Amino acid sequence: MTETTQKHLKKLYKTLKLLKKYEHAVALMNFDFETAAPPCARDDENDTINFFANESFRISNSKATKETIVYLYEHKDELEELDKALIDGLYDEYLKTKNVTPSVQLKWLKVYGRAYTDWLAAKKAGKFRYFKKSLAAVVAAAREEINLRENALPDFYDNLLNDCEKGMLKAELDGFFGELKVGLIDLIAKIKSSKQVIRRDFLSRKVPVYKQAEFSDYVLKLNGYDFDKGYLTTTEHPFTMDISRYDARVTTHYYEDMFLSNIYSVVHEGGHAIFMQNERAEDYEHFINDRITNGMHESVSRFYENVIGRSEEYIGLIYPQLKRVFSEELKDVSERELYEAVNIVEPSLIRTEADEVTYGLHIVIRYEMEKALCSGKLKVEDVPAEWNRLYKEYLGVTPKTDAEGVLQDVHWTSGFGYFPSYALGNAYNAMYLKKISEDMDFKGAIRRGDFAAINEWMKERVFKKANVLTPKEWLKDITGESLSAKPFIDYLTEKYSKIYCF
């Protein structure tokens, strides 16, 4: 490395260290905003968040910083591999934002902040009209942002997809979702024709929040979540936030009459956090710890939630503790009844409460709607009606209010392109399920509660290279195969044919 390149890299590292301080502060404020801020304080708190986020943007897009990034990109052959990965990502971001002024970026931040506040109010009222203006503003902000990019792809929605899952564009996703939809509809038809009766009366029994909270701590610790590097609290829409290197926080939402909702929310979000807590130290040292794509993350969270969490072996593992904590509520429920109940397949309205099988159709609906919305074929004012139409067509259910319909998810307050990641995550983890099952006694490890062995495999095979590879490269590195919906459909068919006896 030449002396000049070394100086530029040292200068860049100094800037990135400063930016990490801003990002840390903004993350802490965002976490407070979504978990604890009282309604009347949200506007003021959002203004403060926007101020610090905008200051961070000013630093990262200053003339000096941009010149340093361009120089290092042009001389990246002199850099070691992790620094090359850093510069490739920064240069890509530079092309996206070089024409964006701090004032324009602040305007967008205000749009997204206002959208979140309006969404909360609209969901509480169950009326889309309170969110309509903000949703239109989010679409406009996203389009304006793409139009200012120097490296923009020709199609508007492809840019948003690429931001969430690099390289996964409509041309490939249309085929993937087509294959997924056909496979799911066929499987659901077989399940519907089954005469198997699954007991469910206990699923709506009231379970006090304090008992659910105790069990939440238990499953997080069991699965390998480190409370010395994290924290659990509540929010409206559960999420996980990577605050800093040693701080990955989990949130949940407790419903007294839906105790399973919290259990699987916690296992899901805990999966995200376990991924975060096991990133390599060198990724942090080279400032590339934030390169994991949404699909990679969702593959892990849904691996813990469904592949592990809804398995017969896991239910057997947690059953004694569940019976101890919920001694009154589940005193007449057998282990087999619990296993079958957590795997009931039934079309429903709420994505986050959906079973493994019908869940994919919830994502198909959102993918098709996002495409139509971003292309202009679907107008904002027609979004609720189209949502209801697709739910009726694909799942046979119709929302009674917008709160259980189009307003159920928070995602559209900050943009588009994330939803496909959930379905991609299912496909990814079905593919590496085959690999982990070849490499170790996976089911036996779950049965024994040996999450040290499972998490070590995940750390070495799934987590290790996630920050430096594209999704396609990463999947190939783990499994040796390319993306397909078939392994996921095969996994579901094998599992549910035994539960529903077909």
- Are 361 and 181 in contact, with CB atoms under 8 Å apart? yes
For residue 416, give the amino acid letter: F
Indicate which residue of 34, 145, 165, 269 is catalytic: 269
Q: Residue 411 gets which letter from DSSP?
A: G
3-state secondary structure 194-221: CCCCCCCHHHHCCCCHHHHHHHHHHHHH
- 249 three-class SS: strand
Residue with tokens 């139009």: 147
**H or E element that contains 244:** strand 240-244
3-state secondary structure 74-125: HCHHHCCHHHHHHHHHHHHHHHHHCCCCHHHHHHHHHHHHHHHHHHHHHHHH
- Number of residues that make up the chain: 502
| Annotation marks residue 269 as catalytic | yes
Dihedrals φ, ψ of 58, to 5°? -60, -40
Distance CA 370, CA 415 (A): 10
Sign of the torsion angle spanned by Cα atoms 72, 74, 78, 79: positive
Distance CA 465, CA 470 (A): 9
End-to-end CA distance of the chain: 64
- What is the signed CA dihedral for 182, 184, 190, 194, rounded to 10 degrees? -160
Q: Residue 291 gets which letter from DSSP?
A: -
- Are 327 and 376 in contact, with CB atoms under 8 Å apart? no
Beta-strand pair 230-234/247-252: parallel
Distance CA 249, CA 230 (A): 5
Catalytic residues: 269
